């Protein structure tokens, strides 16, 4: 891994097709476009889309998470075009108290980027970085029942089904996948 030259370089990950990096202010419109897609948001929280202001609040939350925990959600940028396709990375899944303490790996890509293996490629880079640098012993991922594409990524990462439960704030059925690092 190259020696970081800027603070952003210290938290960036590279794959053959992707740059995973900290968020920039200029990323707001790209993420807002992803969050405005009903197909993308169908299995996220209560299933509703987010407007630009709500997305800006989420971006601020993502930045605070990095500052508080030393890890977080990366912007997923396509190396070929520089386009922000969505995100992948780590978060604390406080929305599911029964599995706490835990760190969750998750992803969200715009519809145009589905079916190309980008979520798996990005998530594998995060898992490798987590193993090598973060000292975490375990990761979880939460699969809302019905989102089979996301569940396939979890299995490709080597995760196994740990439990089925209900997300308290939405009443949605979820499956918790986990892996030891």
| pLDDT of the residue at 10 | 62
pTM given for the model: 0.92
Angle between helices 118-129 and 148-156 (to 10 degrees): 40
Query: Burial level of 20, CB count in 10 A (0-12/13-18/19+)?
Result: buried
Distance CA 149, CA 161 (A): 15
Helices (H) and strands (E) in the chain, counts: 6, 8
| pLDDT of the residue at 64 | 95
Give the model confidence (pLDDT) of 18-47 as tens digits: 999 999 999 999 999 999 999 999 999 999
| pLDDT of the residue at 11 | 78
Residue 70 is inside which H or E element, if any? none
| pLDDT of the residue at 6 | 40
- DSSP designation for 147: -
**Residue among 153, 95, 169 nearest 177 (CA):** 153
Q: Can you list the residues of the chain whose pLDDT is less than 70?
A: 1-10
CATH number of 7-180: 3.40.630.30
| pLDDT of the residue at 7 | 43
| pLDDT of the residue at 41 | 98
């Amino acid at each position: 891994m190259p020696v970081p030259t800027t603070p952003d370089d210290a938290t960036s990950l590279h794959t053959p097709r992707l740059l995973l990096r900290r968020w920039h202010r200029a990323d707001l419109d790209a993420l807002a476009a992803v969050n405005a897609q009903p197909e993308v948001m169908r299995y996220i929280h209560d299933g509703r889309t987010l407007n630009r202001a709500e997305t800006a609040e989420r971006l601020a939350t993502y930045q605070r998470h990095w500052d508080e925990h030393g890890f977080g959600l990366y912007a997923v940028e396509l190396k070929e075009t520089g386009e922000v396709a969505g995100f992948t990375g780590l978060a604390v899944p406080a929305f599911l108290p029964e599995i706490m303490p835990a760190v969750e790996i998750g992803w969200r890509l715009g519809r145009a980027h589905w079916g190309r293996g980008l979520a798996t490629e990005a998530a594998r880079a995060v898992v490798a970085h987590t193993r090598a640098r973060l000292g975490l012993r375990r990761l979880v991922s939460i699969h809302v029942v019905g989102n089979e594409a996301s569940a396939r990524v979890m299995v490709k990462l080597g995760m196994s089904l740990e439990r089925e439960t209900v997300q308290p704030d939405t009443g949605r059925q979820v499956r918790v996948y986990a892996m030891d690092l």
